[in-house]
Amino acid sequence: MLILGIESSCDETGVALYETDSGLLGHTVHSQVALHAEYGGVVPELASRDHIRRLLPMIRSLLLQHGCSVNDLGGIAYTQGPGLAGALLVGASVASALAYALSIRLVGIHHLEAHLLSPLLSSPAPDFPFVALLVSGGHTQLMAVKAAGDYELLGETRDDAAGEAFDKTAKLLGLPYPGGPALAQLAQSGNAARFRLPRPMLDQDNLDFSFSGLKTAVLTLTRQLGDGAAECSQQDKADIAAGFQEAIVDVLTSKCLRAINTTAMSQLVIAGGVGANRRLRSRIDAAASKAGFRVFYPPIELCTDNAAMVALAGAMRIKHGRTGACPFSARPRWDLDSLPAIT
Ligand code: KG4
Ligand code: ZN
């Protein structure tokens, strides 16, 4: 069965075609980075309007590119939440209208479930169960993924998400939005050992995180070095970026190790935008080979928001008849552990 995936929860418009027997046919993503750049962050109303402009032409051209038409579709999966209400409603409306007109299956997907399942699009893929570190712009969570649809929250951030900390610190350093990739790039030319930034909650015997203090530590540092980041030299900023990245990566790596030990699971999955961070990947890989567990990442372009992961989650739910009641709706706030199991 051919499934159309639609992602519109924030500032990326994504469409994908997934064949339940043979896997992902293709996907495209339009990033709104240029649209929001001058505001230094996502403007929700602009995001919704851009999704409206892009979605149908993107669906048409993806179908055309793969020699398909809407009549070949057997189901549609869209991101139902969590996310920006207006942005979600665009995907929900298009998906619902198309599914109704074509009399095909419709499934609303939890955005974080899509991220959690995205490593299944890699080869080799993990088997259930596994521990997942979900590190996106809005979430930092450690989950025990016992089976598809069966998720237990092991720990999460008490304040800022890791991606949010990257973005806010990047802004402090005068880097353009979105800050995560820009800060990671600047860190490459920095000396991580020059400034020792705090490792929040590293020594606490739990699986929770706290990152908001880090950006305050960076602010204090820039004030000590000059009168804020504008006064710091390029090398100072690169050294701060490297020190900041190292602090976050240290905490994430050590909490992942702790989660593997407490659950006695042997596989770790890293999902979400911050999972694209190369320093995080190399530190996690080193920890895994030392401790003897396996790590899985989604393909790097599927770490950030995309519809391929939404189509995959939809295909799994449709295949097992676990689509739940799916009225035309968007769920800006939605608890992951309230989902019905898939298998
Ligand atoms: O998963 P995602 O695309 O969107 C959400 O669902 O939030 O994650 C976006 C987040 C942003 O905070 C972005 O700055 C961060 O992921 N990010 C990175 C990198 N690439 C994206 N953070 C650090 N290093 C990166 N290379
Ligand atoms: Zn996301």
d(CA 10, CA 8): 6
Candidates 324, 267, 278; CA nearest to 300 is 278
Residues 6+ apart with CB under 8 A from 63: 17, 69, 70, 72
pLDDT of residue 86: 96
The continuous run of DSSP H or E covering 296 comes out as strand 294-296
- Other C-beta atoms closer than 10 Å to the C-beta of 307 total 33
As a whole-number percent, the residues of the chain with pLDDT over 90 amount to 80
Dihedral, CA of residue 197, residue 202, residue 208 and residue 211, to nearest 10: 0
pLDDT of residue 340: 84
pLDDT of residue 203: 83
pLDDT of residue 341: 85
pLDDT of residue 325: 61
Task: Give the angle subtended at the CA of 241 by the CAs of 236 and 247, to the nearest 5°.
Answer: 125
Place of tokens 């770790």: 268
Tens digits of residue pLDDT in 11-48: 999 999 999 999 999 999 999 999 998 898 899 999 99
Q: Which domains are delineated in the chain?
A: 2-116+302-338 (3.30.420.40), 127-297 (3.30.420.40)
Backbone angles phi and psi of 156, in degrees to 5: -155, 175
Residue 328 has pLDDT above 80, yes or no: no
Per-residue DSSP letter, 300: G
What type of residue is 128? Answer: F
Residue 324 has pLDDT above 70, yes or no: no
Cα–chain center distance at 279 = 17
Tens digits of residue pLDDT in 249-278: 999 999 999 999 999 999 999 999 899 999
Q: 3-class SS at 195?
A: coil
Cβ of 83 below 6 Å from ligand 1:
no
- Other C-beta atoms closer than 10 Å to the C-beta of 20 total 17
d(CA 159, CA 178): 19
What distance in angstroms lies between residue 252's CA and the mean position of ligand 1's atoms?
14
Cβ of 82 below 6 Å from ligand 1:
no
Q: Which pair of tokens denotes residue 198?
A: 């705090």
Q: Residues 224-232: what's their mean pLDDT?
A: 80
pLDDT of residue 326: 62
Cis peptide upstream of residue 124 (ω within 30 degrees of 0) = yes
pLDDT tier, 204 (very low <50, low <70, confident <90, very high otherwise) = confident
pLDDT of residue 105: 93
What distance in angstroms lies between residue 111's CA and the mean position of ligand 2's atoms?
6
Cβ of 182 below 6 Å from ligand 1:
no
Long-range contacts (CB closer than 8 Å, 24 or more residues apart) made by 191-197: 191/238, 191/239, 191/242, 192/239, 192/242, 192/243, 192/245, 192/246, 193/243, 194/239, 194/242, 194/243, 195/221, 195/239, 195/240, 195/243, 196/243, 197/221, 197/243, 197/244, 197/246, 197/247
What distance in angstroms lies between residue 83's CA and the mean position of ligand 1's atoms?
15
pLDDT tier, 154 (very low <50, low <70, confident <90, very high otherwise) = very high
Place of tokens 């020699």: 67
Residue 329 has pLDDT above 90, yes or no: no
Closest-CA residue, ligand 1 atom 13, reads 180
Candidates 173, 191, 170; CA nearest to 229 is 173
Q: Residues 223-240: what's their mean pLDDT?
A: 87
- The ligand whose atoms approach the alpha carbon of 79 most closely is 2
Per-residue DSSP letter, 81: E
pLDDT of residue 327: 64
Average pLDDT, the chain: 93
- The ligand whose atoms approach the alpha carbon of 187 most closely is 1
Our mutation pick for probing the ligand 1 site, out of 303, 304, 336, counting the most ligand atoms within 8 A of Cβ, is 304
CA distances from 109 to 151, 154, 232, 336 (A): 14, 22, 45, 10
Residue 321 has pLDDT above 90, yes or no: no
What type of residue is 308? Answer: A
pTM score, whole prediction: 0.89
pLDDT of residue 189: 97
What distance in angstroms lies between residue 21's CA and the mean position of ligand 1's atoms?
31
